[in-house]
Amino acid sequence: MMLEEIEKSPEAAFVAVDEVFKTYELMCLDKLKEIGRSTAREWSFAMGYTHRSSLAKIIRRITERYPEMLKIYDNRFPRLYEAL
């Protein structure tokens, strides 16, 4: 039945393949939700990087683009990050 609708109407084809794409920042936030509250080092290693500061630019972009999705505990060292 879906193929019949697609053949009749090209607009239905666009609705049928409507997908939500995630940015790399959102993928990193999803991984942080999985591992819970952690340091940048733990978060980097969970993402598959070998160095602790590999996510530094990504964290900076997340704080600029999605500040409501990341909570930073910066009153201690090392900082802790938590995805909301």
Distance CA 42, CA 55 (A): 10
* CATH no. for 22-83: 1.10.10
What value does the mean pLDDT of the chain take?
84
Distance CA 76, CA 72 (A): 10
- Extents of the domains making up the chain: 22-83
Q: Which of 21, 20, 28 is nearest to 70 (CA)?
A: 28
Categorize the per-residue pLDDT at 67 as very low, low, confident or very high, splitting at 50, 70 and 90: very high
* Residue 46 or residue 13, greater confidence: 46
